Structure 1
Amino acid sequence: MVSTDDLNTLQKIMTEGKKVFLEKGFKDASLRNIVKRAGVTTGAFYGYYPDKEALFEALVSPAADGLRELFLSTQKNFDELPENIKKANVYDYTTEELKKFITYIYDHFDEFKLLITCADGTAFSDFIHDLVEIEVEYTLKFIESTGNDVLTSGRATPELLHIIASAFFSAVFEVVKHDMTKEAADSYIDSLKQFFTAGWKRFLNP
C-alpha cells in the first residue's frame, strides 16, 4: 500500500518537474534542479522514475493518449457512417468534433503546453505528426468510400493531403503556443476551420 508520504513526495516531484520543464524545456531541464525544488533527494527521485524522461512521460502521456484516442475514435465513427451521410455531413461533423478536440486540450492545457513547446528530445516530439498520420489515413478512406475523384483527377495527391493536414494541426496548436484563452481559441479555430473548409470544398467539389 502506498503511504501518504510517498504520495506527497511523488506529487512534489511531478509538480516541480512540470514547472521546470515548462520554464526550461525538456533538454535544458536539470534533474538536480527538479529534485532541489521538490525538496527531495536524487535517491528519492530514482525511487519513482529512472530518469527525467520518464517523469516527462508520466506528466504528458495520459493527456497525449487521451487526445489521440478521442481523435481516432472520431475518425472511426465517421468512417463507419453510410456513404450518403458522410457526403452530406462531413463539414458539420468535423466542426463539432473539432470543438471537442479543443475542449479536451484546454482541460489539459499544461500537459499540451509541455507536449507542443517542451518535448524536443523526447519520444513525444512527433506528437503532432502522429495526429497527422491518422488524419491522412482517414481522409484517404473517406475519398475512397465516397468515390470522390480528387486523387484520380490529379487535383490532389496523398503527399499534398499530408502537407495540408500538417499545416492544419500546426495551426491548431498555435492556441497552446500563444497561451490563448479558451474564448480566443474558439474564435481562432472557427476562422481556421472556415479557411480550410473552403479549400477542401474546392478540392472535393470543384
Structure 2
Amino acid sequence: MQRKGPSTGNRDNARDRITACAVREFMEKGFTGASLRAIASSADVTTGAIYGYFPSKEALFDAIVGPAGDELFNRYVAAQENFYDLPLESQTFDGMQAYERGLVHEMLDFVYDHRDEFLLIFAKSTGTAWENYIERFIDVEEESTHRYTRVMREQGIAISDLSQTTSRILSSMFFRGYFEPLLVDMPREEAHEFIADYERFFHAGYLVLMDPDFRPLTQ
C-alpha cells in the first residue's frame, strides 16, 4: 500500500506553528540570536521540516515581516506619486500639509495593525536586509523634497534649495521619530496625537527653511 503524504491542512498547520514560534524566538533573541533548533522544538517539528518551508533563517524572517514591510513602503511610494498627480493648485504648502496629515495617520494605523512585524523590522532585524528598511523611506522622502522644489519653480514660485546633506538628515530624523511610538509601546490613540504634533512640527520647519527670504542666524 502506498503511504500517503501529509495533508495540505496538516502542512499549513505546521507552517503556521513554525511562523508563530519564530515570531516569539525572533522577538526574544533578535534575528542573530534566534535558533532554528529552538523554533523547531517549540513548533514540534524537526529542523529539517523548517527547511522544507524556508530555505534559511533569513528566508523565515523575511516571510514573517516581508508582506507588511513591503506593503507599507509601497503605499508610501504610491502616496508620493499620487500627490504629484493632484491639480497644481492643490500642491501648495498648505495642500501638502493637508495631504500629509491624512497619510501619516493611515500609515500609523497600518503599522499598529501589524505591530509584531514592524517591531521585528525596527528592533530585531540586525543581520538581515531589513535592518536598512528605514533607508528606503529616507531615499524616497529626500528625492520628493527636491522634486517638490523643482515643481514649484516650474510654476514660478520662489523656493529655497535644501542641501543634499540637510535634506537627508531631516528625512532621517522624521522617519526615525515617526516609528518611535511603536518602539516605546505607546498606545495607538496616544501615538496618533503624537504624530499629529510631529507632522505639524516638521512642516513648520520646512516652511521656514524653504522660504527664500529666510536668513539663518550666524555667529
Which of these residues, 159, 164, 167, is aligned with residue 149 of structure 1?
Answer: 159
Partners of 1:42 and 1:102 in 2: CA distance: 36
1:33 aligns with 2:41: no
C-alpha deviation, 1:85, in angstroms: 1.5
1:19 aligns with 2:19: no
Q: What's the counterpart of residue 96 of structure 1?
A: 102
Contact 1:79 1:141 in 2 (8 A): no
Q: What's the counterpart of residue 85 of structure 1?
A: 90
Which of these residues, 170, 180, 188, is aligned with residue 164 of structure 1?
Answer: 170
Gaps of 5+ in 2: 1-5, 215-219
Partner deviation per Cα, 1:60-113 (whole Å, 9 max, x = no partner): 000011001110010000012233220140111111111111111111111000
Gaps of 5+ in 1: none
What SS does structure 1 have at the residue aligned with 2:71? helix
| Amino acid paired to 1:35 | A
C-alpha deviation, 1:2, in angstroms: 6.3
| Amino acid paired to 1:25 | G
Structure 1 length normalisation: TM-score?
A: 0.94
C-alpha deviation, 1:197, in angstroms: 1.4
Write out aligned runs for 1:23-62 (5 A): 23-62=28-67
Q: Following TM superposition, where does structure 1 have runs of at least 4 consecutive aligned residues deviating by more than 3 angstroms? A: none
- Change in Cα spacing, 1:2 to 1:128, as seen in structure 2 (3 Å) is farther
Write out aligned runs for 1:189-204 (5 A): 189-204=195-210
Which of these residues, 136, 143, 155, is aligned with residue 137 of structure 1?
Answer: 143
1:64 aligns with 2:69: yes
Partners of 1:83 and 1:69 in 2: CA distance: 24
Structure 2 length normalisation: TM-score?
A: 0.89
Q: What's the counterpart of residue 9 of structure 2?
A: 4
What SS does structure 2 have at the residue aligned with 1:16? helix
Contact 1:79 1:138 in 2 (8 A): no
Moved more, 162-171 or 87-96: 87-96
Question: Structure 1 vs Structure 2: percent identity of aligned residues?
Answer: 34
CA RMSD of aligned residues (A): 1.4
What SS does structure 2 have at the residue aligned with 1:55? helix
C-alpha deviation, 1:142, in angstroms: 0.9
Partner deviation per Cα, 1:150-192 (whole Å, 9 max, x = no partner): 11xxxx2122111100000000111121111101111111121
- Tell me the matched-pair count: 202
Partner deviation per Cα, 1:130-157 (whole Å, 9 max, x = no partner): 0110111112111100114311xxxx21
Q: What's the counterpart of residue 121 of structure 2?
A: 115
Partners of 1:192 and 1:60 in 2: CA distance: 26
